[in-house]
Structure 1
Amino acid sequence: MVRIVTIKLQPRALLIGFIIVFIVSNSIAALAPNFKVLLLSRLLSAVMHAPFFGLCMSIAYNLSAADKGPSAIAMVQGGLTIAIMLGVPFGSYLGATLSTLFLNNGASFKLITSIAAGMVLFGMILTMLTYKVENNKILNQQSG
């Protein structure tokens, strides 16, 4: 539903906007004073999840050669799977390790979330700067 409403927007700006919504909603979740705020912030994050990955797959398909489109979509899905399989346990381990350093006050979660969110946003902006949009198609500026 969100993607249907935002179909006229530029993919570059929309992708960065989705990441910003993720960062804001997860920051609200980290600082939530009660369960209701936590639930609403997680709901906002979940609403942005499907259009974000749908847009990522669309961009990957458009950036690839005509015969490599399905492979590009598979790479996006494979990256998501690997990130979940490796990132979640590593994040849990890192959070548990750092929580002992910060006296279990939740500061380690906030620190890890802030660093990860900043890295993702910075990487997305740098990556998306190398692409241009013509006729609602994303083109790599480096290759022509």
Structure 2
Amino acid sequence: MDNLSFEKIWEDVFMFELEISVENKYGSFKKTCYLQNDSLVEFSKMISDFLHLPSKSKEIKWGDILDNELSECVFTIFPIDSSGHIVMKVFLVQIDDDNKNESALYIQTELGLLENFGKNVLGYLENVGRKVSLN
């Protein structure tokens, strides 16, 4: 089953550690990243913006390899299809010991599930150890 989940592992005053888990019928991966506190607000806003205009793709990026960061996560939501399904692409890049590792998985979901996920991301992740899932 296609799924995307976030789990808050650790937090500080200005940042937190988030474990991102992605899976579909072809594979799965987990990635831990460090984000600033407003990152989830921006992610939730990206989903909200998409819901207001589901015929247009939306994208958000956490980290940037070009800015000498060691990891990058890109979430892209593609326009809704005629059957009401939505596809989200999760693209992860990690630099380890001079090796660049890239992974991308596509997740299928529905409008209502995406809306709930966007709302729940903020509330569920207020405390360390909480997890929120898309599907």
Relative to the length of structure 2, the TM-score reads 0.30
Q: Which of these two proteins has the greater Rg computed from alpha carbons?
A: 1
